[in-house]
Amino acid sequence: MALMITAECINCDVCEPECPNQAISMGEQFYVIDPQRCTECVGHFGEPQCVQVCPVECIPLDPFHLESPGQLQLKYEQLQAAKKALLPTTS
């Protein structure tokens, strides 16, 4: 599952820089998580980093984006492949 940030968010700015997939950004009123980029830190860390640093515990699983660990791993691999494709090649 992807994660989501609830309205209890206090906009403390600690979660955004912790996300290895750049899935977190400022929304209209509080931070939001892009479910297409969130892998719950699968492939990077053993635990979701945003959840670890959130002082108000407002980052639960998103029930609208159910994903298995295998699906999260595949998403991680696809994001990494896309990232590598954007890197300049050296000759």
The structural domains of the chain, with segments of one domain joined by +, span 16-85
* Cβ–Cβ < 8 Å for 86, 79: no
Predicted pLDDT at 87: 78
3 state DSSP class of 19: coil
> Which position has the token pair 């945003």?
50
Q: 53-69: per-residue pLDDT in tens?
A: 999 999 999 999 999 99
Predicted pLDDT at 86: 82
* Cβ–Cβ < 8 Å for 35, 53: no
Q: Distance between CA 84 and CA 52 in Å, rounded?
A: 28
Predicted pLDDT at 90: 64
Element (H, E) at 84: helix 69-86
Cα torsion through 30, 80, 77, 32, rounded to 10: 0
Predicted pLDDT at 16: 98
> Per-residue pLDDT for 88 more than 90?
no
> Per-residue pLDDT for 1 more than 90?
no
Q: 18-51: per-residue pLDDT in tens?
A: 999 999 999 999 999 999 999 999 999 999 999 9
- CATH 3.30.365.10, applies to 16-85: no
